[in-house]
Every structure is written in C-alpha cells, then in structure tokens.
Structure 1
Amino acid sequence: MVASAVKRAAGLALMGVVTLLPAFGAASSQTGTIHFYGQIVEAPCIISPEAGTIAVSCPQDKNMLTRRVSYTQALDSAAVFPERAAISMTWINPEKSLGIVQVDYR
C-alpha cells in the first residue's frame, strides 16, 4: 500500500512537471529586442517657471510664441499649444513649493 502511494505521488509529480514545461518554454521564446530609429524634426518648447505661472515658448513659423499657464491650469493638464504640446504639473511636497512639470508632445 505504501509502495502504491509513492508511485501515485511520483506519477502526479511527473504529470505536473510535464504539464508546466511548455509554459516555461513559451515564455522564453517571447523575448527579444525592439529597436526604434528616427529623428527629432521640431525644436522643443522652452518651459520657464514664473511667479504663479509657467511660461511655455514654442517655435512656430520661424518665431517663438509664448503662452502663460497658471499653476492651477497646469495641475488640470493644460493644452498650451493643442497642436503641439500639453503640460501637467504635480506637487511633490506638502508645502507646495516643489513640483514636477511634464510636457507631452504630440
């Protein structure tokens, strides 16, 4: 009886290993490297913090066009230049004296 229980346990363990092997093999065949090639075709916008506002200057038709966004607008993700860029801001300390401004280019 003990011998049959050992054989049964060994058989179940072998079935478990055989069942799981294809899953591990499939995971390793899904790896690889992706390369991206390209270039920046437009100059970036210049972000300048000011008292209570953020000045965003973007090149447009060979000129620099500047728009100002309040901190409140930036906290709500403002589309400064809808065709070009949007900015958002988050405070990183409770005193609201340090923040991170993120620029999302289109």
Structure 2
Amino acid sequence: MLHLGGPDPRSELAANADLSARELADLKTALDAIDARSRRAPWTREVLRLIEEHPGLRALDLAERLGRDKLPFKADVRRLKALGLTESLETGYRLSPRGKALMTHLNSTTE
C-alpha cells in the first residue's frame, strides 16, 4: 500500500517567500541555465509571467497563448515547480509564494 511519507519538499520550498539576495540570484541563474539549454527561445520568464497573469487557466489555454503544444508546456511548468516557483491547482497553475517573490524581484530589476 502506498502512503505519504511526509510533506512534499517542493511544497515547503514553494511556501518560502523570504528569499535572500543570494537565493534570488541563484534562482535567476537556474532560469538562465534552463533557457540556455533550451532548443527554442528562452521561455522560463515568459511562462512564469503568463501563469502570474492567468492563475487557474487550463494548461491547454496557457500553451495555446504561447503557440505551444500542451504536453511539452506542462513538462516545462513541472521544471519550474521543481524550483518551487509554481503550484498546480485542480485546474491550471499559480505562482507559489516563492515564485511571486522571484517575479517581484525580476520585475523590479532590469534584465
């Protein structure tokens, strides 16, 4: 029988919005690395902004707004979730407190 072995570490990570300058820089570096390895144009910030602007919107609708297929889009969102930046809802996604803190930081600096 399968049972929960404790809290999901991603949830704990996502709930942490009290980020130091070093943590914010590390997250920005992680996003830059994901974008640099991407076969297409940089996408991480675009997806985060889309989720920020449209919390709860279905993955298919979000993907269509970017001209992308749903399944690869969902895989990308899972990469952002692994960094603690997004949370899955019953329908769609939202930024986690950590993701909101990062976006506030990114929006206040020139990239």
| TM class, shorter-length | under 0.3
Which fold has the larger relative contact order, with Cα–Cα distance below 8 Å and residues 6 or more apart in sequence? 2
Higher helix share: 2
TM-score between the two structures when normalised by the length of structure 2: 0.20
TM-score between the two structures when normalised by the length of structure 1: 0.21
The structure whose Rg is larger is 1
Higher strand share: 1
